[in-house]
Structure 1
Amino acid sequence: MIKQRPIDEIIEFIISSPNPEKVLAYRPSQALQERIEDLIYKKKTSFLSNEENIELERYLLIEHIMIMAKKRARKELSQ
């Protein structure tokens, strides 16, 4: 069995070709939220490895992209 990486759930969501309603309803899993919170906490209180820092930066970029996608989805639904 191949262990799924936290980012895989985001990839699965993107390739599902979600409609605007699904984009607006999207929420990361509890596991993914906890991973991001752990990385942020570790960054604030101790030290992130290079790999962890890259992982956190990727999640923050994806979060920004999702915010923009939700804004566009709201606009599309309001027309």
Structure 2
Amino acid sequence: MQVIFDLPDDVVSQLYPLEDKLPQILELGLRELNAITQSEFSGVAEVLEFLANLPTPEAIIALRPSLALQAQISALLEKNRTVGLTPTEEQLWQSYQYLEHVVRMAKARAFVKLQEIDGE
């Protein structure tokens, strides 16, 4: 595939010696751009870090989204109802849905563990 770019001269002068590495440069740049976009996925990291710390079953069952995370979810829901989501927002929404699935699984397992403890 051939792609043509209009770039400033200073960028061209930096890229010229790396011409054979342009596909790698673009791939790395896209990864970096995606990582920056993922910073919008705030609130999620705190949930994953919480679960990674192997909390007690009671703490897992008590887990609720932070106000910031809940606000992001609510904003996406509202936008979806009114004007629709962009592809990036749709991807973010799918990530939130997956996180909810993971948390539900953790809560279900925590509940089973508590029942096993109570049954002893």
Under a length normalisation based on structure 1, what TM-score does the superposition of the two structures give?
A: 0.84
Residue 55 of structure 1 aligns to a residue whose secondary structure is helix
Q: Which residue does the alignment assign to 1:38? A: 75
Deviation at 1:26, TM superposition (A): 0.7
Deviation at 1:73, TM superposition (A): 0.6
| Higher RCO, 1 vs 2 (CA within 8 Å, ≥6 residues apart) | 1
Q: Which residue does the alignment assign to 2:109? A: 72
Deviation at 1:19, TM superposition (A): 2.0
Q: Which entry has the higher C-alpha Rg, 1 or 2? A: 2
Identical counterparts, % of pairs: 36
Residue 64 of structure 2 aligns to a residue whose secondary structure is coil
Distance in structure 1 (CA, Å) of the matches to 2:103 and 2:52: 14
Structure 1: runs of 5+ lacking an equivalent? none
Structure 2: runs of 5+ lacking an equivalent? 1-38
Give the root-mean-square deviation of aligned CA atoms: 1.7
Under a length normalisation based on structure 2, what TM-score does the superposition of the two structures give?
A: 0.58
Deviation at 1:12, TM superposition (A): 2.0
Aligned residues: 77
| 2:93 equivalent to 1:56 | yes
Distance in structure 2 (CA, Å) of the matches to 1:78 and 1:54: 36
